[in-house]
């Protein structure tokens, strides 16, 4: 899974969000490293909808503009959980191996 996809699914993990809120969440989760622009975000959301990972929760009108609120669908929850478990396994193994290095003992605690 590419990082922007992981960040988008993570941004939707706790609650449904509209497009701009997702942009902000992605910036926050990645500590400002990843910034999805409008077209890229919209294309990614369309693709994730086609794949069944994301669904439109509801549509609302704010300041005269219609916008959709997106939510994580069940396949998206599963994919995110699997990717999280994979990353956690790698991180745990990396920490274990780093802890074996004499000079780094306690550094990863």
For other proteins, the binding residues (CB under 8 A) are 1-5, 8, 18-20, 23, 36-44, 46-48, 50-51, 53, 62, 65-68, 79
Residue 79 CB, nearest approach to other proteins (Å)? 8
Residue 60 CB, nearest approach to other proteins (Å)? 10
Cα torsion for 58, 60, 65, 67, to the nearest 10°? -20
Q: What phi and psi, each to the nearest 5 degrees, are found at residue 77?
A: -60, -45
By beta-carbon proximity to other proteins, the closer residue of 44 and 72 is 44
| CB 58 within 8 Å of CB 69 | yes
| CB 30 within 8 Å of CB 97 | no
By beta-carbon proximity to other proteins, the closer residue of 65 and 102 is 65
Residue 103 CB, nearest approach to other proteins (Å)? 26
Question: Encoding tokens for residue 59?
Answer: 């549509």
By beta-carbon proximity to other proteins, the closer residue of 35 and 88 is 35
């Amino acid at each position: 899974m590419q990082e922007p996809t992981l960040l988008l699914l993570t941004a939707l993990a706790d609650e449904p969000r509209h497009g701009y809120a997702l942009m902000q969440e992605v910036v926050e989760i990645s500590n400002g490293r990843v910034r999805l622009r409008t077209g890229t975000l919209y294309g990614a959301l369309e693709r994730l909808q086609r794949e069944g990972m994301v669904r439109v929760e509801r549509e609302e009108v704010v300041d005269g503009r219609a916008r959709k609120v997106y939510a994580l669908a069940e396949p998206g929850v599963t994919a995110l959980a699997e990717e999280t478990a994979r990353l956690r396994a790698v991180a745990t193994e990396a920490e274990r191996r780093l802890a074996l290095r004499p000079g780094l003992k306690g550094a990863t605690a």
